[in-house]
Amino acid sequence: MTFSIHGLAVARGIAIGRAVLVASSRVDVAHYFIEPSQVESEIDRVRCGRNAVVDEIHRLQQTISQLGPKDAPHELRALLDVHLMMLQDEELIGGVKHWIQARLYNAEWALTTQLEMVARQFDEMEDEYLRERKADLEQITEKVLRAMQGAPSPVIPLPVRSGRKASQQDWQLDDTDVPLVLIAHELSPSDMLQFKQGVFAGFVTDVGGKTSHTAIVARSMDIPAVVGARTASQLVRQDDWVIIDGDAGVVIVDPSPIILAEYGYKQRQVELERSRLGRLLNTPAITLDGEKVELLANIEMPEDAPVAVRAGAVGVGLFRSEFLFMGRQQNQLPDEEEQYQAYRRAVEGMNGLPVTIRTVDVGADKPMDGNLPETAYLNPALGLRAIRWSLADPDMFVTQLRAILRAAIHGRVKMLIPMLAHLGEIRQTLALIEQARTELMREDVPFGVVELGAMIEIPAAALTLKTFLKHFDFLSIGTNDLIQYTLAIDRADESVAHLYDPLHPAVLRLVADTIAECRTQGKEVSVCGEMAGDVAMTRLLLGLGLRSFSMHPAQILAVKQEVLRADTAKLTPWAQAVLAHDEPASLLAG
């Protein structure tokens, strides 16, 4: 019988295939009291289990160190580090010892008890990203339990062919060629490694929010995926036919022949569209009336630079440098040399095309592990994030500024400062940049010239543009945050996601005025929020005068197609009408 499951759409496209279920069953744990004389041997059993998992992760790290970034994404490497950190965490191990020594619990019971204690702390965390790390903790605990039992760690099982015929006789694929889709409660890093090797056509997980690692990896792989599908791993059976609609966030199980045919058609359309778009790769992005448009890439790691070039980007409009800082302890932040090498790799990877390096933007939904405030702040998005965090630790900031300035001798580098609102912050930032230059000069360390830009992502900044334009060479509009702060909608909170509206007249007014003011003053302006990669927004942004868009590389050709079809002479008056309307969305539809 056909039924559907709704989750969060995280990676686009349609996948149709047979379900491969990753058993998520928790290991059966025996509960009994031990004799006092057994305390040491029980603690030893936990230690051995933990060491076996640590060894397994080290082996995995070795394997992936031999793979390229395509087969072993940086997210996977970071996840393995997080798992190692958790395994070595004293609170977990110390707690387990406590239950064994004080209560005489057997080793497994002690471990699961301590897991519950720590998991409760995760549940109480304000921050979505950190709450999601609970799943990582559960995974490693399960692995330790299995190791203690001498059982191998669960890996993705080979698909069991039940012999049950596909319910749709009209499905033409030979059984061995049938695509497989992965259904899991949650995917561990080692699962992802196998997944990365191209076995599966799509995947669904019960848990995970939009910022979960699974969602991040899915986007980097650009294959259909749905996360947060709650009970999918319980409802779907091994070998079931499944459709994953990554655009709608829907999973259709055991589809009827009519539904299957409909989605088969949709899937072919998506594939056709992709290959058709491929032909635009070397076409310059110029509108029908001859306006040149710059299509840039947003990247997270230096290794993404060649991917951006291959996707047709003419530069990097946003290098989110905070990804170099995340997943580390405060005292293990990347030093100047490590940062310099990373920025240099990104610059060289772009073969002479410009690279806009944004200074670190941690905080809110991007906390740095090990650097949590002792008290949980009520509104982290309004707290110590981005430039505020940098200015609160000038030494750390100057280290980054020096690394960026040094990387500028290898190509065209632009430096972008996030979340500025106050003139005082601008002055402090400029002074620290000057300090970094003076230090390098004094030490005889070569460095290059950088253009300096500010992100416009707080309404206060959008309303005081003249101040910003006095001090910066270019501006970049961060619509993700600009929408969040204009409408007072937490961008990470799903319960208010329906109010997160890029087309709210107030948002459009701030975006339009920023573009217009920059044009009047002859300063470069781009949009680097998600709006820039949304094809439904391309015509409007062009009509408002935008000529520089920065987005996820996978979106570049689709946006280029919109650009090629656009006539800005016609779009300009239309955009003004949209701007004046109290329901702008009604003019965009159709």
Per CB under 5 A, the list member of 369, 481, 490, 530 interacting with Mg ion is 481
Tell which positions 307-336 bind ligand PEP, by CB under 6 A: 318, 320
Q: Which does 211 bind (CB under 5 to 8 A by kind): ligand PEP, Mg ion, none?
A: none
Per CB under 6 A, the list member of 142, 425, 457, 490 interacting with ligand PEP is 457
Scanning 8-16, 44-52, 174-182, 474-482 for contacts with ligand PEP by CB under 6 A, the matching segment is 474-482
Per CB under 5 A, the list member of 478, 502, 533, 584 interacting with Mg ion is 478
Catalytic residue among 213, 410, 518, 552, which? 213
d(CA 563, CA 539): 7
d(CA 72, CA 199): 14
CB contact set of 91 (below 8 Å; sequence gap of 6+): 118
Minimum CB separation of residue 15 from ligand PEP in Å reads 27
DSSP for 37-75, written as a single string:
GGHHHHHHHHHHHHHHHHHHHHHHHHHHHTS-TTTS-HH
Per CB under 6 A, the list member of 214, 356, 359, 479 interacting with ligand PEP is 479
Closest CA to 154 of 164, 163, 145: 145
Query: Looking up tokens 């002074």, which residue turns up?
Result: 431
Scanning 20-28, 63-71, 374-382, 479-487 for contacts with ligand PEP by CB under 6 A, the matching segment is 479-487
Based on the shown chain and the rule CB under 6 A, indicate whether residue 528 belongs to the binding site for ligand PEP. yes
Based on the shown chain and the rule CB under 6 A, indicate whether residue 478 belongs to the binding site for ligand PEP. yes
Q: Which does 479 bind (CB under 5 to 8 A by kind): ligand PEP, Mg ion, none?
A: ligand PEP
Angle CA 120–125–126, to nearest 5 = 150
Q: What is the size of the binding site for ligand PEP (CB under 6 A)?
A: 10
d(CA 258, CA 236): 20
CB contact set of 573 (below 8 Å; sequence gap of 6+): none
Q: Which does 209 bind (CB under 5 to 8 A by kind): ligand PEP, Mg ion, none?
A: none
Could you tell me where the beta strands, DSSP code E, fall in 411-510?
Answer: 413-417, 450-456, 474-477
Closest CA to 201 of 149, 140, 109, 270: 270
Based on the shown chain and the rule CB under 6 A, indicate whether residue 481 belongs to the binding site for ligand PEP. yes
**Torsion angle of the four alpha carbons 120, 126, 132, 134, in this order, in degrees rounded to the nearest 10:** -20
Distance between the two ends of the chain, CA-based, in angstroms?
36
Nearer to Mg ion, 307 or 416 (CB): 416
Scanning 19-27, 112-120, 131-139, 477-485 for contacts with ligand PEP by CB under 6 A, the matching segment is 477-485
Minimum CB separation of residue 214 from ligand PEP in Å reads 19
213 carries an active-site annotation: yes
Sites of contact with Mg ion (CB under 5 A): 457, 478, 481
Sites of contact with ligand PEP (CB under 6 A): 318, 320, 361, 457, 478-481, 528-529
